[in-house]
Structure 1
Amino acid sequence: MSARMNIPEQAKILQQVSAKKAFTTIIAVSVAALLFLIWLIYLKDGATTSYSWVPYLPACNAAFNFLSTVFLVLGLREIKQRNFNRHMKMMTLAFITSALFLVSYVIYHHFQGDTKFLTEGIIRYVYFFILVTHILLSAFVVPLVLSSFYLALSGNFQKHRKVSKWTFPIWLYVSVTGVVIFFMLKYIG
């Protein structure tokens, strides 16, 4: 196999989209998603009805974040071994599990609203440090992930590598801290 990934036929369409148009769309989608989440979590009241399965969604969210973490690490291993197709599969799985997390997260917060951490003491400061860094970096990870995928699928591997050097550690941190936040809320808060 050559040093380049085989780009699926469907992805070749992205090669015809100008970078300016792609990045404008990525920024617009990212800003819209961020504004929607701010409204959903901090401004909208929780739903007046609920379902018996809703309380289980945070555990699903943590599982999706954990799986994203695993796929990210496996994707890194594959690219270091120059297994481009396996790298693409692992990163696609990381993307899918992150997207499933986001869907589950939105559904949960639609019904639940904001989740409070009630524990006092030093652990409260630790929790809020992790939460604030998680939230801030998650706002950046969406456009970075979408940009990394666009660059890879459009065949611009040199820029893909440059963007992914920022994307990977931020995405990994957001995935790992998502699991940490779940456990802190469940067992401490």
Structure 2
Amino acid sequence: MVNDLNLPESIKAFEQINTKRAISMIIGVSVAALLFLIWLIYFKAPATSEIPWVKNLSFLNATFNSFSTIFLLLGFREIKRRNFSKHMNYMISAFITSSLFLVSYVIYHNFVGDTPFEGEGVIRPIYFFILITHIVLSAFVVPLVLTSFFFAFSGKFETHRKVSKWTFPIWLYVSVTGVMVFILLKSFG
């Protein structure tokens, strides 16, 4: 639904949620998710059973990240055109593909574990720069995205805009570098 200014209307249930409580919950969920991923990737041994199709999930992960990138760019274009309805649809699509990526990523790392990078020479520091910045910034994506969505859905569009000025470039960078990491691992792994 939109009003006379073509701004989307808030979702009434979100208007009733205390902002400080919502941000606290978002941070709590984000920290729990981050700690789980750190445990899964760096401390948990891969599952002992092998499922052949799981090894192909790395390609699916890169595909989800590619779609997220496309939806983010389309959403950015639509907000610049002040087409709030299309912007919202593209951003929700980016959220869905990023969420599907996360589920697939967890399944992959549970069964396959970490993939070592075997490239040598100048590509090695390039790969690790991309990987490290990707990992560090990905820790901020979940809380930023959830916070941006909360402010949009609760009708706090000015705050949504301020948070999204940080969310968009970080989310885009993480989506693009996720694909780059996949390509470099497949090319040099």
TM-score range, shorter chain: over 0.9
Q: CA deviation at 1:121?
A: 1.4
Distance of 2:118 and 2:187 partners within structure 1 = 11
1:30 aligns with 30
- How many pairs does the alignment contain? 186
1:135 aligns with 135
Question: What are the superposed Cα offsets for residues 28-52 of structure 1, whole Å, 9 maximum, x if unpaired?
Answer: 0000000000000000000001212
Q: Is the 8 A contact 1:130 1:177 kept in 2?
A: yes
The secondary structure found in structure 2 opposite 1:161 is: helix
1:69 aligns with 69
1:4 aligns with 7
One-letter code aligned to 1:6: E
2:46 aligns with 46
One-letter code aligned to 1:32: A
The secondary structure found in structure 2 opposite 1:5 is: coil
Q: Is the 8 A contact 1:6 1:85 kept in 2?
A: no
Q: Is the 8 A contact 1:14 1:150 kept in 2?
A: yes
2:78 aligns with 78
Q: CA deviation at 1:115?
A: 1.4
2:120 aligns with 120
Higher alpha-carbon deviation: 86-95 or 49-58: 49-58
One-letter code aligned to 2:151: L
One-letter code aligned to 2:122: I
Distance of 1:50 and 1:77 partners within structure 2 = 43
Q: CA deviation at 1:2?
A: 2.5
1:108 aligns with 108
Q: CA deviation at 1:61?
A: 0.2
1:59 aligns with 59
Q: Is the 8 A contact 1:134 1:173 kept in 2?
A: yes
Q: Structure 1: which 4+ aligned runs deviate by more than 4 Å?
A: none
Distance of 1:45 and 1:120 partners within structure 2 = 26
The secondary structure found in structure 1 opposite 2:52 is: coil
2:15 aligns with 15
TM-score (norm 1): 0.96
Q: Percent identity among equivalent residues?
A: 63
Question: What are the superposed Cα offsets for residues 76-100 of structure 1, whole Å, 9 maximum, x if unpaired?
Answer: 0111111101100000000000000
Q: Over the residues paired in the alignment, what is the CA RMSD in angstroms?
A: 0.9
Segments of structure 1 that go 5 or more residues without pairing to the other structure are: none
The secondary structure found in structure 2 opposite 1:121 is: coil
Question: What are the superposed Cα offsets for residues 84-126 of structure 1, whole Å, 9 maximum, x if unpaired?
Answer: 0110000000000000000000000000111110122111110
TM-score (norm 2): 0.96
What are the equivalent positions in structure 2 for 1:107-186 lying under 5 Å apart?
107-186=107-186
Distance of 1:145 and 1:52 partners within structure 2 = 33
The secondary structure found in structure 2 opposite 1:119 is: coil
One-letter code aligned to 2:91: M
Distance of 2:70 and 2:102 partners within structure 1 = 17
